Structure 1
């Protein structure tokens, strides 16, 4: 994958909703925002408009629906109302609406997909798709769904072989052509492990960067995604991650790493459970 094909999205799950951060993101070429109906205590959309409504036309916005104050729910009417409310609060239709953790409500998955397709056809979004942390449970269900436009999945060196395999199966089963990544550091870029593991192994010869930058570069290839959502409230950290997206990776190293993960996942799947021992 060429670096020109990659883009960073500012994820707002853990990021501060501040005008300064949004301004700096635009200055550094980050024009994708990723949020959700439930982020920022269910006020993310309103807060964005309040602090930087004039900047929002410069961003491509993806949001998610599925969580409500009383929990996860894929009721058709509630999903439809959440999409409509999101558009109303943003003062525009979000570019992409994703089902938030569909593995949490598998029984209502097919109906939820149909609702989002209807919302797209009604002009309340340009694309619809799935945002899944772990698609394995989702794949256990029998369902027929409309073809989603995009899926957002975990990416990077913290993702297990089993989940990577499940992502591949999800893409094949749904025929999704656009794959996005998220959480390249499993939500904790400050974990000491990132200063311990030599992530530079994944960089192409002649490429140099910090451990986090190399981790970002690897995340675009594990699995192969075109957009990576990162969360931060600090401009310097965001700049470091953006620079990481421009590093070239060693494709041979990634191939070997993926094969090792595949083998480990296969062995783990065949191992007897505790109750069988």
Structure 2
């Protein structure tokens, strides 16, 4: 499979509210170090900047990030700003609030509703923006989201946020949020063999309501290293067989499977490796047959 000339546009497009994005995007979590949330091994700064610029050259116009994506020397938001500002007119940057980390990297208690404005302003400052395109409220467990989502809805009314989304949710959360303000996207753990309980129902509901469903851990899964998944070191026979048939990597098969779950499904694979970036973008052009999809389908 040729990769060098394939654009992210090959995956097709979807809208986050009134913002059109290519369905193959980029996740910034791994830009800052050798592993997510690793303070000890910061990334090579120039390489990370080059990856971001190359992503845009390849047609990526949807970047997922967060202020809590940082290592000892690197901040994903700062890298994005330095690499891409002034931002292309069609670039959509999606961030998330709720979680937070202190300077040592330790996780803080989940934000209270009144603390969300500070988190939004932190993202604005780091990204050098006067408003955020999309802000996802990431939940940390069951229970009502009304106060937190209501606080973000107020910031949307004030013009600091254009659109709102959700992350790590159950079906009832989506209904509760939609009664407060429009939801344009949902991020849940969802992959071929790694997904959040209830996410199949969330995927279906999003499709019915025209909401983008944006899986995270689509390549690696929560307990898998992204590099191993890229090379196929931890994949089963079905994934490897389909990869061999198409002359692609196992990561590309997983991304193609993800995008095949519905036209409203977006992919945001993240990497700090320029070669893996090209492969990930090229996966947007890979089409799997019905027989291959059936072979890949694994009960969770």
Larger helix proportion of the pair: 1
**TM-score, scaled relative to structure 2:** 0.70
1:7 to 9, 23, 26: 23
1:199 equivalent in alignment to 2:243: no
Matches within 5 A, 1:126-275: 126-132=162-168, 135=169, 138-139=170-171, 144-145=176-177, 146=180, 147-160=182-195, 162-168=197-203, 171=206, 175=209, 177-184=211-218, 185-186=220-221, 188-191=225-228, 192-194=233-235, 196-199=236-239, 208-222=247-261, 225-251=264-290, 253-254=292-293, 261=299
1:227-262, CA deviations, whole angstroms, 9 ceiling, x for partnerless residues?
A: 21111111100101111111112245536866x73x
* Cα offsets for 1:155-190 (capped at 9, x unmatched): 331235844434347648x94622222221215233
Indicate the SS of the match to 1:21: helix
Aligned to 1:89: 126
CA RMSD in angstroms comes to 3.2
Instruction: State how many pairs are aligned.
Output: 249
SS at match of 1:193: coil
Q: 2: distance between equivalents of 1:149 and 1:159? A: 23
Instruction: Indicate the larger mover: 53-62 or 70-79.
Output: 53-62
| Larger Rg belongs to | 1
Determine helix, strand or coil for the equivalent of 1:229. Answer: coil
Q: TM-score, normalised by structure 1?
A: 0.75
Q: Unpaired segments of 5 or more residues in structure 1?
A: 266-277
Following superposition, the deviation at residue 77 of structure 1 comes to 1.2
- Whether the aligned pair in 2 keeps the contact of 1:164 and 1:223 (CA below 8 Å) is no
SS of match in other structure, 1:8: coil
Deviations 1:95-143 (A, max 9, x none): 110012x1x15445111111222222222122111122xx4xx457798
Is contact 1:157–1:222 with CA below 8 Å preserved after alignment?
A: no
- Alignment partner for residue 25 of structure 1, among 47, 55, 59? 55
